[in-house]
Chain A
Amino acid sequence: MSLFCRILLMALLFPYSGLCQVTNYLLEGDIIDEDNTGIVSCYIKIQSPANKLIYAYFNTGDKNTFSTSVRLKKGDTVLITISHLGYTSDSIYLLAKENSKIKVPVTLYKKRTDLKGVTIKAPAYWSRGDTTFYRIDAFKEGEEKKLKDILTKVPGFEINTSGQLLYKRMPVNKIMIDGEEIFADKMELLLNNFPIHVIETIQAIEHQNENKLLKGLAHEEKIFVNIGLNKEKHQLAFGDGEVGIGSNNRYFLNPVLFSLVGKLKVGLVVNWNNTGSGLNWDLDGDLKGSSERYAGQWAMNNYSLEYIPLFEPRWYIKNAQKDNRLQVNFHLTPQIGSQTEIIYLTDRQQQANYIAATLFDRDKFFSREETRKTQYEPKNFIIREAIEWSPDTSQHLKLSITLNNHPSDGTEISTYTEDSSQITSLDNSIINKWWGQSILFEYIKRTRSSKAEKWSIAMNRQKIWQQGISISPDWPSIYTVPDDDYIVLEQFTQNIVKNLLIDWSQFNSTGINGSISLEIKDVHANNDISLRSTSDSSAPVFLLNSGNVGKYTNYALNGIAEKKVGNVKHPFFLKVKGGIDWSNIQEANLPRKVVTPIFDFSVNNQHSLWSTFTNYVNFSFYQQQPDILQLQERIHPIGLNAFRQYKAGKIPEKAARLNYNISWFWGKNLSSGNASFYIKHNFTTTAVTQAYQGFLQFNLDSFLNRPVNEFSISSFQLIPSIFFKALIKINATFNRNSIFIIKSTEVLKANMNYVEANLEIKKNLYRKYFITLKTGIGYNSLRFEQDNKSIPQQTFFNIRSSLTQRLKISENLELVNTTALFNNNVASKSSTTILFMDAVLQYKLRSKPIFLSLKADNITNAGYYQKNSVSIVEQSYDRIPLIKRNIFCGLRYEL
């Protein structure tokens, strides 16, 4: 061939060479059945329909997913055949397009003919898209009753010390039941009450938005949990009921009922007990919305219980709770639905404590012992009605109205001994009346597949009225009133907290998400404090003659722009917030304005590596105005005998923070873990001045232009170890932060360190005898950089160990024993050791789902638990009495 011919041939072929380019296409798929259960051990055949050449043929083994690379030309068609012995085969034709990654969701249907000897077993977990399914039977040990008992055994889930449910160390935002939102945001309630005998799967759904219309547009990155029910175990209704009675007049009644049939979905949870069941310090968080919790910060603290972390409430709480929750969801049509929620919760809590504390007073520390008896009677009555309407698939409208009433009565009788000499007594009581209303209106319209808009208006009004009476013979000397009859201190506060938020947001998957919002907070705070005489003829002495009144209004106008940049699979989200905070303050005769330009620049990225690691990175740099709560320069009460004042609130809060979280899940062996790192640099901080006058406490928080750092690192690992034939959990945490205190005129800096490490080992012998060994240490330390001689104790070191043994005597009878040893404040004069033991005998009837239990608590008759705490202005240990040795019998029925 001549040179000319060769060149001509090349020139003719060259333009077509690009069209014939062979590329590696990644085919990824997940296989489920009609019940959304993952199917493992499927044969996948990938071949060319044209020449029938097989590109790949393999079995998925113990996974319900597959991922394989096939060399194809653009425009090629491939035929994927998925087959399994127990299911009808499925064939899918796919066209190789621009994107070299092809997702293949597959649903197979069960063969209706019986296959003799074939057992189709679902795997322990499987995934589809953003959802990871966990088959509950794979994690059951046998003694679980409620959702919390099983969720803590599923890899990836944990409940932290505040009672918050986490998945891969990120907070879970709601729990649904078969997709239905019943008590969805009441996670504490569902965790403690939802029965597990009806659960087939737990589904962790990641990368979610609150509203489905914003799917793929908003980047809320929420995590939802869906409880997949076993269809065979629930028909019209399901639930369980437990009733129990014990010595010391203790009782328990807990019926739980759900019905998810037809248009009406109902959930009813009743919990009447005096055993502390369902109580924890964060219960308020479950009952009150963010606006209510904010309004509560303006009120005086009432006398709630002292809680012990990681300690069963029934071991130390005396109360009389009546918790009644009802939610009814009514789907009038597929487009219109309503949610009605009624909560009525009352309680009467009692506690008697002995507290020994070292307290900071202006320039020195002094010691004080207190014997305290408290009674707290909160009531909560909440009605919430929400109506949702989707006129078509592109629009959604929601209207929600909430009425709340949170009255409470608290009393506290104390005697004080200061520096082992002076003894005083105090008899306090506070009556709270609290009403609130809130309205939320939200409208979302998906204008096209890549765009949506959202309008929302939220209004909230809370009115808190408080009357506090404090009786002490010391008041005349503290307030230098000459007449000794003036022993009654009365505080009357009335706060009205109003909030209005108007927001408009636009979402654009290909461009920038933006929003503009205006928030108005308006607070009227009124406080009168007076000393009254026991003699009717004496006039009261008003300690603040003109009244202690403040009017605070804050206008926050913000604009937010968010853009997705970078890698299509693992994009970064850049978010810029800018605006202005304008506060008008009227206190006595001093009207003030505080105007702060605000900004927040943040970068978020969440990505997965090899389907094993999930990484989350967040960096944020922001400036904001202190909340109007912290702009109060008037002395305002935070308790009946405690006052606070803020100073220099014009200094804006400025900080930079970095949060990195990596979670891993080795699917093959079900081991999982997590490591997280957090650092925050505050450009400004507050310094505390604390002063005492008798038992009156004053705090002055001054804003400073001094930088301070917060740092935290933690790790968690769950290992199913074949070597030890045990399930091993290890976690460790280290926190460090710095605080400033003003001692006379000197600003002192203190560093607080906290270290915690825990180890848990679970083993069994022949599946008859199960043991769980837990041991952990906690170490607190406080170190002043300049002066630490005057503080008597700066470290607390606690060791906690427990052994739980479960003996399966027969298929229906088992004995569980827990022995715990608490060594608190080790290696100090005030160290305490408590040996605590309880035992439960459980019997299940053979023919019916009825369970009988006989429980013996505090067998060693331990007297009290000593709780230690350390802060820059107070180091204390608190002896909390435990419930004496007691027995309790219970009966539970599963519906």
Chain B
Amino acid sequence: MKFLFFIHLCLSLFLSSGIAQNIQAEYSVTQTIKLSTESGTTTEQKILRTGYLMRKNNKYIYYEKPDYLKIYSDGILKVSVSTGQAYSIMLGTDSLQSLYYSDYDTLINRYRSDVPIPPDNYRNLLQPFVPGNMEWKFFPETKVINGLKCQRATLTVLGQYQWNIWFYADIPMQSGLWNMKDVPGLIVEADNIPLARHYILEKYNMPEALADSIFWPSEFNQPFKQVPAMGKSSQSPRQIKSNQQAELFKQ
């Protein structure tokens, strides 16, 4: 963690200059799976992944690599909770998971589902998005994490509590983990509530150059299916309707 603080100090000049538009960040991701035993007690399993967030100007990509494959090489978590009773949980064997790409120049999302989506079993999806659709709630709470003074924010999507994050506003960002948008800073710590995943920023740097190929992983060479535009976190996608209504005037 001292390393992280050192990096921060070294890069502070770049931050204040406003020139740096590239970032590479690495997160440790811990998923806690709670399983109930026959006796009524609960056993916990920790699933480990590493998350990578990259930004080049207005392009962002996030993906996770499954560290758990070192333990569960077949991608299946098997837990025996009592005699004759075992849980078998499919974790997936893809080398890249939770792959999300956002382009703020063209307002396009590309992402890859961890499982094929019926009926045509596409995995790659292309989706327009509108900035501002994720309405974060900001709190005055702050805490210093590894020398970075962070502020708390939460996101509720369609009434369901999704994210609790601590972000560092001195590094301006627009996207974050997964498909996260409209976050005003770099995420330092986060909890995905429904998936019970905990994210901690392990290290980051701000390279002068990042290869474009990073933003087009080989998984994206498979065909994409376009899906309807991403709606507001609090409402249905009224924007599409509004555009259609505006078009009706031109006749």
A interface residues with partner B (beta carbon < 8 Å) = 41, 43, 45, 47, 51-62, 85, 115-118, 124, 138-141, 153, 155, 668-671, 720-722, 725-727, 762-764, 767, 770
Asked if B227 is at the interface of the complex by the 8 Å CB criterion, the answer is no
Lowest 7 A-B CB distances belong to which pairs? A59-B132, A720-B245, A720-B248, A59-B131, A669-B245, A57-B184, A764-B251
- CA–CA, A52 and B248, complex, Å: 45
Residues of B within 8 A of A726 (CB): 248
Residues of A within 8 A of B244 (CB): 722
Chain B residue nearest to A41 (CB atoms) is: B131
Residues B250 and A139 in contact, CB atoms below 8 Å apart? yes
- CA–CA, A52 and B150, complex, Å: 10
- CA–CA, A62 and B142, complex, Å: 32
Residues A58 and B245 in contact, CB atoms below 8 Å apart? no
Residues of A within 8 A of B133 (CB): 59, 61
Asked if B169 is at the interface of the complex by the 8 Å CB criterion, the answer is yes
Chain A residue nearest to B240 (CB atoms) is: A722
Residues B132 and A671 in contact, CB atoms below 8 Å apart? no
Q: How far is the CB of A86 from chain B (nearest CB, A)?
A: 10
Residues B169 and A52 in contact, CB atoms below 8 Å apart? yes
B231-248 interface code vs A (CB 8 A; 1 in, 0 out): 000000011011011101
Option from B105, B174, B251 in Cβ contact (under 8 Å) with A727:
B251
Asked if B58 is at the interface of the complex by the 8 Å CB criterion, the answer is yes
Given A52-B149, A668-B242, decide whether A720 and B132 contact each other with a Cβ distance below 8 A.
Answer: no
Residues A41 and B245 in contact, CB atoms below 8 Å apart? no
- CA–CA, A116 and B250, complex, Å: 28
Residues of B within 8 A of A54 (CB): 138, 151, 153, 169, 184-185
Asked if B220 is at the interface of the complex by the 8 Å CB criterion, the answer is no
Residues B169 and A47 in contact, CB atoms below 8 Å apart? yes
Chain A residue nearest to B181 (CB atoms) is: A59
Given A47-B169, A721-B248, decide whether A58 and B132 contact each other with a Cβ distance below 8 A.
Answer: yes
Residues A117 and B106 in contact, CB atoms below 8 Å apart? yes
Q: How far is the CB of A725 from chain B (nearest CB, A)?
A: 7
8 A-B Cβ contacts within 8 A? Answer: A41-B131, A43-B132, A52-B169, A52-B170, A53-B151, A54-B153, A85-B58, A727-B251
Residue among B170, B239, B251 with the highest chain A CB neighbour number at 10 A? B251
Given A41-B130, A59-B131, A764-B251, decide whether A670 and B105 contact each other with a Cβ distance below 8 A.
Answer: no
Residues of B within 8 A of A670 (CB): 242, 245-246, 249
Residue among A56, A726, A770 with the highest chain B CB neighbour number at 10 A? A56
Residues B58 and A725 in contact, CB atoms below 8 Å apart? no
Residues of A within 8 A of B142 (CB): 51, 53
Residues A61 and B245 in contact, CB atoms below 8 Å apart? no
Asked if B140 is at the interface of the complex by the 8 Å CB criterion, the answer is yes
Asked if B136 is at the interface of the complex by the 8 Å CB criterion, the answer is yes
Residues of A within 8 A of B241 (CB): 669, 722
Residues A53 and B140 in contact, CB atoms below 8 Å apart? yes
Residues of B within 8 A of A57 (CB): 136, 138, 182-184
Option from B106, B185, B246 in Cβ contact (under 8 Å) with A720:
B246
Option from B105, B138, B242 in Cβ contact (under 8 Å) with A55:
B138
Residue among B104, B149, B184 with the highest chain A CB neighbour number at 10 A? B184
Chain B residue nearest to A772 (CB atoms) is: B251
Chain B residue nearest to A728 (CB atoms) is: B248
Residues A56 and B138 in contact, CB atoms below 8 Å apart? yes
- CA–CA, A438 and B169, complex, Å: 68
Q: How far is the CB of A23 from chain B (nearest CB, A)?
A: 15
Asked if B135 is at the interface of the complex by the 8 Å CB criterion, the answer is yes
- CA–CA, A54 and B58, complex, Å: 22
B168-200 interface code vs A (CB 8 A; 1 in, 0 out): 011000100000001111000000000000000
- CA–CA, A762 and B249, complex, Å: 9
Residues B151 and A62 in contact, CB atoms below 8 Å apart? no
Chain B residue nearest to A153 (CB atoms) is: B249
Q: How far is the CB of B222 from chain A (nearest CB, A)?
A: 23
Q: How far is the CB of B176 from chain A (nearest CB, A)?
A: 12
Option from A52, A60, A141, A721 in Cβ contact (under 8 Å) with B132:
A60
Residues of B within 8 A of A58 (CB): 132, 135, 182
Residues of A within 8 A of B58 (CB): 85
Residues B138 and A671 in contact, CB atoms below 8 Å apart? no
- CA–CA, A118 and B142, complex, Å: 36
Known A57-B182, A155-B249; 9 more pairs at CB < 8 Å: A41-B132, A54-B184, A59-B133, A61-B130, A62-B130, A85-B105, A117-B105, A140-B250, A669-B245
Chain A residue nearest to B249 (CB atoms) is: A139
Residues A124 and B182 in contact, CB atoms below 8 Å apart? no
Q: How far is the CB of A273 from chain B (nearest CB, A)?
A: 30
Q: How far is the CB of B195 from chain A (nearest CB, A)?
A: 24
Chain A residue nearest to B238 (CB atoms) is: A668
- CA–CA, A85 and B107, complex, Å: 11
Option from A61, A721, A722 in Cβ contact (under 8 Å) with B239:
A61
Residues of B within 8 A of A41 (CB): 130-132
Residues of A within 8 A of B130 (CB): 41, 59, 61-62
Q: How far is the CB of A845 from chain B (nearest CB, A)?
A: 23
- CA–CA, A62 and B153, complex, Å: 24
Q: How far is the CB of B154 from chain A (nearest CB, A)?
A: 13
Option from A43, A45, A62, A138 in Cβ contact (under 8 Å) with B250:
A138
Residues A61 and B132 in contact, CB atoms below 8 Å apart? yes
Residues of B within 8 A of A155 (CB): 249
Which residues 128-146 of B have a CB within 8 angstroms of A?
130-133, 135-136, 138, 140, 142
Q: How far is the CB of A667 from chain B (nearest CB, A)?
A: 9
Residues A671 and B245 in contact, CB atoms below 8 Å apart? yes
Which residues 145-159 of B have a CB within 8 angstroms of A?
149, 151, 153
- CA–CA, A867 and B79, complex, Å: 91
Residues of A within 8 A of B140 (CB): 53
Residues A62 and B182 in contact, CB atoms below 8 Å apart? no
- CA–CA, A671 and B149, complex, Å: 47
- CA–CA, A688 and B209, complex, Å: 91
Residue among B104, B105, B246 with the highest chain A CB neighbour number at 10 A? B246
Q: How far is the CB of B233 from chain A (nearest CB, A)?
A: 11
- CA–CA, A720 and B248, complex, Å: 6
Q: How far is the CB of A606 from chain B (nearest CB, A)?
A: 27
Residues A762 and B251 in contact, CB atoms below 8 Å apart? yes
Option from A53, A118, A124, A725 in Cβ contact (under 8 Å) with B249:
A124
Residues A722 and B245 in contact, CB atoms below 8 Å apart? yes
- CA–CA, A671 and B248, complex, Å: 11
Q: How far is the CB of B94 from chain A (nearest CB, A)?
A: 30
Residues of A within 8 A of B149 (CB): 52
Residues of B within 8 A of A85 (CB): 58, 104-105
- CA–CA, A722 and B106, complex, Å: 26
Residues A669 and B138 in contact, CB atoms below 8 Å apart? no
- CA–CA, A726 and B244, complex, Å: 10
Chain A residue nearest to B140 (CB atoms) is: A53
Residues of B within 8 A of A116 (CB): 105
Q: How far is the CB of B89 from chain A (nearest CB, A)?
A: 37
Residues of B within 8 A of A60 (CB): 132
Residue among B106, B130, B132, B136 with the highest chain A CB neighbour number at 10 A? B132
- CA–CA, A763 and B249, complex, Å: 10
- CA–CA, A860 and B32, complex, Å: 82
Chain B residue nearest to A139 (CB atoms) is: B249
Given A54-B138, A85-B104, A669-B245, decide whether A43 and B251 contact each other with a Cβ distance below 8 A.
Answer: no
- CA–CA, A890 and B23, complex, Å: 63
Residues of B within 8 A of A55 (CB): 138
Q: How far is the CB of B143 from chain A (nearest CB, A)?
A: 12
Residue among B133, B138, B183, B249 with the highest chain A CB neighbour number at 10 A? B249
Residue among A61, A721, A764 with the highest chain B CB neighbour number at 10 A? A61
Residues of B within 8 A of A61 (CB): 130-133, 239
Residues of A within 8 A of B246 (CB): 124, 138, 670, 720
Chain A residue nearest to B248 (CB atoms) is: A720
Q: How far is the CB of A78 from chain B (nearest CB, A)?
A: 13
Q: How far is the CB of B128 from chain A (nearest CB, A)?
A: 13
Residues of B within 8 A of A727 (CB): 248-249, 251
Residue among B105, B106, B149 with the highest chain A CB neighbour number at 10 A? B105
